[in-house]
Amino acid sequence: MAEAFTIHSIGVIHNTDDEVRIEIYPPYTAGLLGLAQFSHIYVLYWLHLNDTPEARGILQVQPRKNPANPLTGVFATHSPRRPNPIALSRCRIREVTLDGILVDQIDALDGSPVIDIKSFFPHDDKGPVKVPDWQ
């Protein structure tokens, strides 16, 4: 039933006070061709500090670590504790360079392994969006 797959880091996030730079490793930089035509990207990165059996076994949390928030399934949150510690951030591109991407900001720890970059297209679905009160 459950299957295992292998992923490899394709880069690393440098998140400092001065800049946010998504370094792409040399074997993968050819994948950046044409990215500068977009304003935004999705960054998928590995929550490396939560890649432990304990953190990966947690299925319910109080969102934003706020004890006032109701116990909530991790799939209803963006908690770093989840079965597969993959994070997803949408970022505005500042500049695409030969070896990576400068972005406005990202909610990622310095040194987080990057596992994929995807261009962002506006969503077609214009219907109403609903979220819970705890946000």
Tell me: does residue 117 bind a second copy (CB under 8 A).
Answer: yes
Residue 127's CB: how many other CB atoms inside 10 A?
A: 6
Of the residues 51, 52, 64, 95, which one makes contact with a second copy according to CB under 8 A: 51
Please report, for residues 5, 57, 59, 66, 70, the alpha-carbon distance to residue 73 in angstroms, rounded to integers and kept in the order given. 23, 12, 6, 14, 10
The yes or no reply on residue 111 touching a second copy (CB under 8 A) is no
Contact status: 119 vs a second copy (CB under 8 A):
yes
Contact between 13 and 45 under an 8 Å Cβ cutoff? The reply is yes
Q: How far is the CB of 135 from a second copy (least distance, A)?
A: 6
Q: Which of 13, 77, 80, 108 touches a second copy by CB under 8 A?
A: 77
Nearer to a second copy, 33 or 68 (CB): 33
Q: What is the DSSP letter of 76?
A: G
